[in-house]
Amino acid sequence: MGVHGNLPREAEYTIWVTDHNLTPISQQVDDASAVHVTLRHNTVSSGEFTCPAHPELVAAARTPKARAVVERDGQILLAGPIESTPSRWEGARHGEHDGGDLTVRFADDLLLIAGRSSFPNPAQAATAQTVAKWSRTGTPAQIAWDLVNLNAGPGALPNRRVPRLIMGDLGGIGGTSTTFTTRFQMLTDDLRAVSALAGGRLGFRTVQVGDQIVFEVYEPVDRTGAVWFARSMGNLLSIEHEPEAPSATVALVGGQDAGANRTIIERGTPGDWWRLEVFVDSAGANNLTELQQAGDEALADAAEVQRLAVVAVDVDGTRYGIDYLLGDIVAVEAVPGMPDVPDIVSAVEFGWTPDGGETIKPIIGAGSADMLNPSAAEQQRILRMLSRRATGAEIPLT
Protein backbone atom coordinates (compact mmCIF):
# COMPACT_ATOMS: atom_id res chain seq x y z
CA MET A 1 0.00 0.00 0.00
CA GLY A 2 1.48 3.35 -0.98
CA VAL A 3 1.48 6.62 0.91
CA HIS A 4 -2.05 7.93 1.04
CA GLY A 5 -1.05 11.58 1.09
CA ASN A 6 -2.10 14.23 3.56
CA LEU A 7 -5.60 14.80 2.23
CA PRO A 8 -7.29 18.05 3.30
CA ARG A 9 -10.25 17.75 5.62
CA GLU A 10 -12.76 20.07 7.21
CA ALA A 11 -11.94 21.98 10.38
CA GLU A 12 -13.09 25.28 11.84
CA TYR A 13 -10.44 27.81 12.84
CA THR A 14 -11.22 30.85 15.00
CA ILE A 15 -8.68 33.62 15.63
CA TRP A 16 -8.49 36.71 17.82
CA VAL A 17 -5.97 38.99 19.55
CA THR A 18 -5.74 39.61 23.30
CA ASP A 19 -3.74 41.83 25.63
CA HIS A 20 -1.30 40.42 28.20
CA ASN A 21 -4.17 39.78 30.62
CA LEU A 22 -5.88 37.57 28.01
CA THR A 23 -8.65 40.11 27.39
CA PRO A 24 -9.68 40.26 23.69
CA ILE A 25 -8.68 43.54 22.01
CA SER A 26 -9.78 42.71 18.46
CA GLN A 27 -12.81 41.41 16.67
CA GLN A 28 -12.71 37.77 15.68
CA VAL A 29 -10.65 37.30 12.52
CA ASP A 30 -13.05 35.64 10.09
CA ASP A 31 -11.30 36.39 6.79
CA ALA A 32 -7.90 34.69 7.19
CA SER A 33 -6.47 33.37 3.94
CA ALA A 34 -4.09 30.89 5.62
CA VAL A 35 -3.23 29.52 9.06
CA HIS A 36 -0.08 27.57 9.96
CA VAL A 37 0.64 26.14 13.41
CA THR A 38 3.50 23.93 14.58
CA LEU A 39 3.15 22.35 17.99
CA ARG A 40 6.44 21.18 19.53
CA HIS A 41 7.07 18.84 22.43
CA ASN A 42 9.11 20.39 25.28
CA THR A 43 9.98 23.53 23.38
CA VAL A 44 8.25 26.68 22.17
CA SER A 45 5.50 26.15 19.58
CA SER A 46 4.76 28.71 16.89
CA GLY A 47 2.10 29.82 14.45
CA GLU A 48 1.08 32.45 11.94
CA PHE A 49 -1.99 33.60 10.08
CA THR A 50 -2.47 35.93 7.14
CA CYS A 51 -5.52 38.14 6.61
CA PRO A 52 -6.53 41.55 5.24
CA ALA A 53 -4.76 44.39 7.06
CA HIS A 54 -7.79 46.04 8.66
CA PRO A 55 -6.60 49.09 10.68
CA GLU A 56 -8.29 47.88 13.87
CA LEU A 57 -6.61 44.47 13.66
CA VAL A 58 -3.21 45.96 12.77
CA ALA A 59 -3.41 48.26 15.80
CA ALA A 60 -4.38 45.37 18.09
CA ALA A 61 -1.69 43.01 16.79
CA ARG A 62 1.01 45.67 17.16
CA THR A 63 0.07 46.52 20.72
CA PRO A 64 2.97 45.79 23.11
CA LYS A 65 2.49 42.43 24.88
CA ALA A 66 -0.33 41.45 22.52
CA ARG A 67 -1.12 37.75 22.11
CA ALA A 68 -2.76 35.71 19.37
CA VAL A 69 -5.20 32.88 20.02
CA VAL A 70 -6.09 30.20 17.45
CA GLU A 71 -8.95 27.81 18.14
CA ARG A 72 -9.47 24.59 16.19
CA ASP A 73 -12.97 23.12 16.33
CA GLY A 74 -13.74 25.04 19.51
CA GLN A 75 -10.53 24.10 21.37
CA ILE A 76 -7.52 26.39 21.74
CA LEU A 77 -4.77 24.99 19.52
CA LEU A 78 -2.12 27.66 20.17
CA ALA A 79 -2.06 30.88 22.15
CA GLY A 80 0.73 33.23 23.11
CA PRO A 81 2.84 36.34 22.46
CA ILE A 82 2.90 37.98 19.04
CA GLU A 83 6.48 38.14 17.76
CA SER A 84 6.19 39.97 14.43
CA THR A 85 3.49 41.52 12.25
CA PRO A 86 4.76 42.11 8.70
CA SER A 87 2.32 43.75 6.31
CA ARG A 88 2.43 43.94 2.51
CA TRP A 89 0.63 46.11 -0.04
CA GLU A 90 0.91 45.80 -3.83
CA GLY A 91 -0.88 48.34 -5.98
CA ALA A 92 -1.56 45.95 -8.84
CA ARG A 93 -3.16 43.37 -6.53
CA HIS A 94 -4.76 45.36 -3.73
CA GLY A 95 -5.76 48.66 -5.30
CA GLU A 96 -5.50 52.19 -3.96
CA HIS A 97 -7.96 51.90 -1.08
CA ASP A 98 -7.05 48.42 0.14
CA GLY A 99 -4.83 48.08 3.21
CA GLY A 100 -3.01 45.03 1.88
CA ASP A 101 -2.27 41.87 3.84
CA LEU A 102 -1.13 41.37 7.42
CA THR A 103 0.74 38.32 8.70
CA VAL A 104 0.77 37.73 12.43
CA ARG A 105 3.55 35.47 13.73
CA PHE A 106 3.34 34.28 17.32
CA ALA A 107 4.55 31.70 19.81
CA ASP A 108 2.82 29.87 22.61
CA ASP A 109 3.04 31.12 26.19
CA LEU A 110 5.94 28.76 26.89
CA LEU A 111 8.02 31.51 25.26
CA LEU A 112 7.49 33.64 28.36
CA ILE A 113 8.86 30.85 30.55
CA ALA A 114 11.79 30.46 28.15
CA GLY A 115 12.35 34.17 28.79
CA ARG A 116 13.27 33.50 32.42
CA SER A 117 16.61 32.40 33.86
CA SER A 118 16.90 30.05 36.80
CA PHE A 119 18.15 32.15 39.73
CA PRO A 120 20.40 30.49 42.35
CA ASN A 121 18.00 31.92 44.94
CA PRO A 122 14.73 32.82 43.20
CA ALA A 123 13.59 34.77 46.29
CA GLN A 124 16.34 37.34 45.69
CA ALA A 125 16.95 39.73 42.81
CA ALA A 126 19.69 38.84 40.34
CA THR A 127 21.89 41.58 41.79
CA ALA A 128 21.42 40.33 45.36
CA GLN A 129 22.33 36.66 45.05
CA THR A 130 24.12 35.13 48.05
CA VAL A 131 24.31 31.46 46.95
CA ALA A 132 26.17 29.88 44.06
CA LYS A 133 23.50 27.49 42.76
CA TRP A 134 19.85 26.52 43.05
CA SER A 135 19.52 22.94 44.26
CA ARG A 136 16.46 20.77 44.74
CA THR A 137 15.97 17.11 45.63
CA GLY A 138 12.75 15.40 44.59
CA THR A 139 11.09 13.68 41.66
CA PRO A 140 11.84 15.21 38.24
CA ALA A 141 8.19 16.34 37.95
CA GLN A 142 8.36 18.19 41.26
CA ILE A 143 11.70 19.78 40.37
CA ALA A 144 10.28 21.02 37.03
CA TRP A 145 7.20 22.40 38.80
CA ASP A 146 9.34 24.19 41.39
CA LEU A 147 11.66 25.68 38.76
CA VAL A 148 8.76 27.35 36.95
CA ASN A 149 6.82 28.33 40.04
CA LEU A 150 9.81 30.07 41.66
CA ASN A 151 11.14 31.78 38.53
CA ALA A 152 8.00 32.62 36.52
CA GLY A 153 4.90 31.51 38.42
CA PRO A 154 3.01 32.69 41.50
CA GLY A 155 6.00 31.83 43.72
CA ALA A 156 8.36 34.14 41.82
CA LEU A 157 9.34 37.70 42.65
CA PRO A 158 6.46 40.00 41.60
CA ASN A 159 8.37 41.55 38.69
CA ARG A 160 9.25 38.10 37.32
CA ARG A 161 5.76 36.56 37.32
CA VAL A 162 4.25 35.77 33.93
CA PRO A 163 0.85 37.51 33.83
CA ARG A 164 -2.10 35.15 34.42
CA LEU A 165 0.20 32.12 34.87
CA ILE A 166 -0.92 29.48 37.36
CA MET A 167 0.59 26.11 38.20
CA GLY A 168 -1.21 22.94 37.17
CA ASP A 169 -1.66 19.90 39.40
CA LEU A 170 1.08 17.29 39.09
CA GLY A 171 -1.63 14.63 39.13
CA GLY A 172 0.32 12.03 41.03
CA ILE A 173 3.26 11.81 38.60
CA GLY A 174 5.80 9.54 40.24
CA GLY A 175 9.48 9.04 39.67
CA THR A 176 12.76 8.37 41.43
CA SER A 177 14.01 11.11 43.71
CA THR A 178 17.06 12.92 42.35
CA THR A 179 18.99 16.13 42.95
CA PHE A 180 19.19 18.90 40.35
CA THR A 181 21.34 22.02 40.47
CA THR A 182 21.44 25.02 38.15
CA ARG A 183 22.56 28.62 37.88
CA PHE A 184 21.33 31.31 35.48
CA GLN A 185 20.28 28.96 32.69
CA MET A 186 17.37 29.40 30.30
CA LEU A 187 14.43 27.92 32.17
CA THR A 188 13.30 25.71 29.29
CA ASP A 189 16.85 24.33 29.02
CA ASP A 190 16.65 23.37 32.67
CA LEU A 191 13.25 21.77 32.13
CA ARG A 192 14.62 19.65 29.29
CA ALA A 193 17.56 18.64 31.49
CA VAL A 194 15.14 17.60 34.23
CA SER A 195 13.13 15.61 31.69
CA ALA A 196 16.35 13.82 30.73
CA LEU A 197 16.73 12.75 34.36
CA ALA A 198 13.38 10.99 33.90
CA GLY A 199 14.66 9.23 30.79
CA GLY A 200 13.01 11.82 28.54
CA ARG A 201 9.59 10.60 29.66
CA LEU A 202 8.45 13.91 31.12
CA GLY A 203 6.62 16.65 29.23
CA PHE A 204 5.90 20.28 30.00
CA ARG A 205 3.63 22.81 28.31
CA THR A 206 1.42 25.86 28.72
CA VAL A 207 -2.28 25.86 27.90
CA GLN A 208 -4.76 28.71 28.02
CA VAL A 209 -7.84 27.86 30.06
CA GLY A 210 -10.36 30.71 30.19
CA ASP A 211 -8.50 33.81 31.34
CA GLN A 212 -5.53 31.91 32.80
CA ILE A 213 -2.34 30.32 31.47
CA VAL A 214 -1.71 26.94 33.06
CA PHE A 215 1.78 25.44 33.24
CA GLU A 216 1.52 21.66 33.15
CA VAL A 217 4.00 18.87 33.76
CA TYR A 218 2.81 15.56 32.33
CA GLU A 219 3.86 12.04 31.42
CA PRO A 220 3.67 11.21 27.70
CA VAL A 221 1.27 8.34 26.98
CA ASP A 222 2.80 5.15 25.63
CA ARG A 223 0.66 4.22 22.60
CA THR A 224 3.15 1.83 21.01
CA GLY A 225 0.63 -1.00 21.27
CA ALA A 226 -2.06 0.90 19.40
CA VAL A 227 -0.50 3.54 17.12
CA TRP A 228 1.88 2.34 14.42
CA PHE A 229 3.57 4.20 11.60
CA ALA A 230 4.76 1.92 8.79
CA ARG A 231 5.12 1.77 5.03
CA SER A 232 2.29 -0.74 4.80
CA MET A 233 -0.01 1.66 6.70
CA GLY A 234 0.49 4.37 4.10
CA ASN A 235 1.17 6.95 6.84
CA LEU A 236 4.89 7.62 6.27
CA LEU A 237 6.35 10.33 4.05
CA SER A 238 10.01 9.90 4.98
CA ILE A 239 12.14 8.15 7.57
CA GLU A 240 15.75 8.35 8.69
CA HIS A 241 17.02 5.76 11.18
CA GLU A 242 20.52 5.87 12.67
CA PRO A 243 21.27 3.53 15.61
CA GLU A 244 24.42 4.68 17.40
CA ALA A 245 26.58 2.82 19.92
CA PRO A 246 27.48 4.60 23.18
CA SER A 247 30.59 6.78 23.17
CA ALA A 248 31.15 6.15 26.88
CA THR A 249 29.86 3.55 29.33
CA VAL A 250 31.76 4.44 32.51
CA ALA A 251 32.20 7.93 33.96
CA LEU A 252 35.15 8.78 36.20
CA VAL A 253 34.11 11.93 38.03
CA GLY A 254 36.66 14.20 39.67
CA GLY A 255 35.55 16.34 42.58
CA GLN A 256 37.32 18.82 44.82
CA ASP A 257 41.02 18.93 45.88
CA ALA A 258 43.95 17.99 43.69
CA GLY A 259 46.44 15.22 43.08
CA ALA A 260 46.18 12.17 45.28
CA ASN A 261 43.72 13.99 47.53
CA ARG A 262 41.18 14.58 44.79
CA THR A 263 37.85 12.80 45.19
CA ILE A 264 37.19 10.38 42.30
CA ILE A 265 34.02 8.33 41.90
CA GLU A 266 32.97 5.87 39.19
CA ARG A 267 29.48 5.73 37.66
CA GLY A 268 27.95 3.29 35.18
CA THR A 269 28.67 -0.20 33.87
CA PRO A 270 29.47 -1.38 30.33
CA GLY A 271 26.45 -3.71 30.16
CA ASP A 272 26.30 -5.19 26.66
CA TRP A 273 28.89 -2.73 25.33
CA TRP A 274 32.67 -2.22 25.63
CA ARG A 275 34.08 -0.47 28.66
CA LEU A 276 34.59 3.07 27.38
CA GLU A 277 35.72 5.53 30.05
CA VAL A 278 35.20 9.29 30.14
CA PHE A 279 36.61 11.68 32.75
CA VAL A 280 34.19 14.29 34.05
CA ASP A 281 35.73 17.33 35.72
CA SER A 282 33.32 18.38 38.45
CA ALA A 283 35.62 20.31 40.77
CA GLY A 284 32.80 22.67 41.66
CA ALA A 285 30.62 19.91 43.12
CA ASN A 286 29.89 20.29 46.82
CA ASN A 287 28.88 16.73 47.72
CA LEU A 288 28.59 13.13 46.54
CA THR A 289 25.10 13.66 45.11
CA GLU A 290 26.35 16.39 42.76
CA LEU A 291 29.26 14.19 41.66
CA GLN A 292 26.87 11.34 40.91
CA GLN A 293 24.58 13.68 38.96
CA ALA A 294 27.51 14.94 36.87
CA GLY A 295 28.53 11.38 36.02
CA ASP A 296 24.99 10.29 35.19
CA GLU A 297 24.47 13.32 32.94
CA ALA A 298 27.70 12.58 31.07
CA LEU A 299 26.66 8.96 30.55
CA ALA A 300 23.19 10.01 29.41
CA ASP A 301 24.79 12.27 26.78
CA ALA A 302 27.02 9.41 25.64
CA ALA A 303 24.45 6.61 25.76
CA GLU A 304 23.30 4.31 22.97
CA VAL A 305 20.62 5.99 20.89
CA GLN A 306 18.12 5.02 18.23
CA ARG A 307 18.18 8.28 16.27
CA LEU A 308 14.91 8.53 14.38
CA ALA A 309 13.52 11.31 12.19
CA VAL A 310 10.10 10.58 10.71
CA VAL A 311 7.70 12.76 8.76
CA ALA A 312 4.29 11.10 8.77
CA VAL A 313 0.77 11.61 7.46
CA ASP A 314 -2.46 12.02 9.43
CA VAL A 315 -4.75 9.27 8.11
CA ASP A 316 -7.54 7.05 9.44
CA GLY A 317 -6.17 5.04 12.35
CA THR A 318 -3.46 7.59 13.13
CA ARG A 319 -5.46 10.80 13.58
CA TYR A 320 -4.23 13.65 15.76
CA GLY A 321 -6.54 14.26 18.69
CA ILE A 322 -8.22 10.87 18.23
CA ASP A 323 -5.44 8.27 18.16
CA TYR A 324 -2.46 10.28 19.43
CA LEU A 325 -1.41 13.65 20.85
CA LEU A 326 1.78 15.70 20.91
CA GLY A 327 4.34 14.03 23.16
CA ASP A 328 2.83 10.54 22.92
CA ILE A 329 5.12 7.58 22.30
CA VAL A 330 4.27 5.63 19.16
CA ALA A 331 5.73 2.68 17.27
CA VAL A 332 7.64 3.15 14.01
CA GLU A 333 8.67 0.51 11.52
CA ALA A 334 12.19 1.82 10.98
CA VAL A 335 13.28 -1.11 8.78
CA PRO A 336 10.84 -3.72 7.39
CA GLY A 337 11.25 -7.03 9.16
CA MET A 338 13.09 -5.51 12.11
CA PRO A 339 11.59 -4.75 15.57
CA ASP A 340 9.59 -1.53 15.76
CA VAL A 341 11.28 1.51 17.29
CA PRO A 342 9.32 3.43 19.94
CA ASP A 343 9.71 7.21 19.77
CA ILE A 344 7.94 10.39 20.66
CA VAL A 345 5.63 12.58 18.59
CA SER A 346 7.91 15.60 18.82
CA ALA A 347 5.94 18.02 16.65
CA VAL A 348 2.68 18.33 14.74
CA GLU A 349 2.27 20.73 11.80
CA PHE A 350 -1.17 22.14 10.96
CA GLY A 351 -2.04 23.99 7.76
CA TRP A 352 -5.41 25.49 6.85
CA THR A 353 -6.90 27.57 4.05
CA PRO A 354 -10.59 28.40 3.54
CA ASP A 355 -10.65 26.70 0.12
CA GLY A 356 -8.24 23.82 0.71
CA GLY A 357 -9.27 22.78 4.22
CA GLU A 358 -6.88 21.37 6.80
CA THR A 359 -3.76 19.21 6.57
CA ILE A 360 -1.88 17.70 9.53
CA LYS A 361 1.65 16.30 9.52
CA PRO A 362 3.09 14.62 12.64
CA ILE A 363 6.87 14.63 13.13
CA ILE A 364 8.21 11.65 15.09
CA GLY A 365 11.59 11.30 16.77
CA ALA A 366 13.14 12.93 19.84
CA GLY A 367 15.33 15.13 17.64
CA SER A 368 12.97 15.50 14.70
CA ALA A 369 11.55 18.83 15.87
CA ASP A 370 15.02 20.26 15.24
CA MET A 371 14.18 20.01 11.54
CA LEU A 372 11.56 22.70 12.10
CA ASN A 373 12.36 26.35 12.81
CA PRO A 374 11.76 27.23 16.47
CA SER A 375 10.08 30.43 17.56
CA ALA A 376 12.21 33.36 16.39
CA ALA A 377 12.59 34.76 19.89
CA GLU A 378 13.75 31.50 21.45
CA GLN A 379 16.03 30.86 18.46
CA GLN A 380 17.86 34.12 19.16
CA ARG A 381 18.07 33.31 22.85
CA ILE A 382 19.51 29.88 22.06
CA LEU A 383 22.16 31.45 19.82
CA ARG A 384 23.12 33.92 22.56
CA MET A 385 23.20 31.12 25.13
CA LEU A 386 25.52 28.99 22.99
CA SER A 387 27.78 31.98 22.39
CA ARG A 388 28.04 32.72 26.10
CA ARG A 389 28.65 29.10 27.01
CA ALA A 390 31.38 28.90 24.37
CA THR A 391 33.20 31.80 26.03
CA GLY A 392 32.62 30.44 29.53
CA ALA A 393 30.68 33.49 30.64
CA GLU A 394 28.12 33.03 33.40
CA ILE A 395 25.73 35.79 32.38
CA PRO A 396 21.96 35.57 32.82
CA LEU A 397 20.11 35.81 29.52
CA THR A 398 17.98 38.93 29.27
What local confidence, expressed as pLDDT, does residue 311 receive? 84
pLDDT at 377 over 80: no
* CATH entry 2.30.300.10 includes domain 1-107+235-240+311-366: yes
Residues 6+ apart with CB under 8 A from 134: 118, 119, 120, 121, 122, 181, 182, 183
Higher-scoring residue by pLDDT: 82, 306: 82
Lowest mean pLDDT among 146-155, 245-254, 277-286: 277-286
Domain coordinates in residue numbering, the chain? 1-107+235-240+311-366, 246-303
What local confidence, expressed as pLDDT, does residue 393 receive? 37
What local confidence, expressed as pLDDT, does residue 96 receive? 63
Q: Mean of the per-residue pLDDT values for the chain?
A: 86
> Which residue in 389, 382, 358, 395 sits closest to 189, CA to CA?
382
Q: How far apart are CA 220 and CA 342, in angstroms?
A: 12
Model pLDDT for residues 157-188, shown as the tens digit of each residue: 999 999 999 999 998 888 888 889 999 999 99
**Conformation bin of residue 73: beta by default, left when phi > 0, alpha when psi is -120 to 50:** left
DSSP assignment of 44-85 equals --EEEEEEE--HHHHHHHTSTT-EEEEEETTEEEEEEEEEE-
Model pLDDT for residues 49-77, shown as the tens digit of each residue: 999 999 999 999 999 999 999 999 999 99
Mean pLDDT of 307-317: 82
Query: Could you tell me what percent of the chain has a pLDDT over 90?
Result: 61
Mean pLDDT of 16-44: 94
What local confidence, expressed as pLDDT, does residue 317 receive? 87
> Which residue in 299, 263, 266 sits closest to 283, CA to CA?
263
Higher-scoring residue by pLDDT: 19, 238: 19
What local confidence, expressed as pLDDT, does residue 250 receive? 96
pTM above 0.95, yes or no: no
pLDDT at 217 over 70: yes
Mean pLDDT of 374-390: 41
Model pLDDT for residues 76-93, shown as the tens digit of each residue: 999 999 999 998 877 666
What local confidence, expressed as pLDDT, does residue 306 receive? 65
Lowest mean pLDDT among 66-75, 138-147, 296-305: 296-305
What local confidence, expressed as pLDDT, does residue 385 receive? 40
What local confidence, expressed as pLDDT, does residue 95 receive? 64
> Could you tell me the pLDDT band of residue 395, with boundaries at 50, 70 and 90?
very low
Mean pLDDT of 92-97: 64
DSSP assignment of 117-170 equals B--SSTTS-GGG--SS-EEEEE-HHHHHHHHHHHHTSTTS-GGGPPTTEEEPP-
pLDDT at 244 over 60: yes
